[in-house]
């Protein structure tokens, strides 16, 4: 039976940059791996089989705009003589009431858009950074 007190509260989530710095302005993170499938017709059967063939990691970071430091790193790609910005991210969920904490490492992260400007009068400025990645691993796992 599910113990509701052990469900993880996202309030305890943290995002760390490649240098281990806590990105305190971040309010939400998503990261998913899409599994590309090739359909395989099976002789004598109406059902199609599926063979995993590719993996594609993508995600987003939401948070408050505090400095332009990260934006400047992403903007390196706009200079024809600069290499694009690649990094790693560590996503941590560490709710003290849960069975434990877990950390996921996202490898070869690069951003697929540059949020140059945006605001609405009378509201705090928020920003979304979307990214792709290739490679991930669970550094810490949760077990009941």
Instruction: Supply the pLDDT for residue 2.
Output: 84
Q: Return the biggest CA–CA distance within the chain.
A: 65
Paired sense of beta strands 136-140 and 126-133, if any: unpaired
How is residue 111 written in tokens? 């951003």
Instruction: Supply the pLDDT for residue 45.
Output: 96
Does residue 17 contact residue 87 with C-beta atoms inside 8 Å? yes
Instruction: Supply the pLDDT for residue 100.
Output: 83
Per-residue pLDDT of the chain (144 residues; tens, 9 = 90+): 888 988 888 889 999 999 999 999 999 999 999 999 999 999 999 999 999 999 999 999 999 999 988 889 999 999 888 888 999 999 999 888 888 889 999 999 999 999 889 999 999 999 999 999 999 999 988 887
Paired sense of beta strands 87-93 and 48-64, if any: unpaired
How is residue 124 written in tokens? 């705090």
């Amino acid at each position: 039976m599910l113990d509701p007190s052990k469900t993880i509260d996202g309030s305890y989530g943290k995002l760390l940059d490649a240098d281990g710095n806590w990105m305190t302005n971040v309010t939400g993170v998503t990261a998913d791996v899409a599994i590309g499938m090739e359909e395989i017709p099976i002789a004598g059967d109406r059902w199609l089989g599926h063979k995993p063939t590719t993996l594609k990691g993508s995600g987003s970071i939401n948070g408050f705009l505090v400095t332009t430091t990260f934006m400047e790193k992403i903007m390196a790609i706009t200079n024809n003589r600069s290499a694009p910005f690649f990094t790693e991210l560590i996503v941590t969920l560490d709710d003290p009431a849960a069975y434990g904490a877990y950390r996921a490492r996202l490898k070869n992260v690069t951003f697929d858009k540059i949020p140059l400007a945006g605001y609405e009068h009378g509201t705090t400025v928020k920003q979304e950074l979307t990214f792709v990645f290739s490679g991930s691993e669970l550094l810490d796992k949760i077990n009941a």
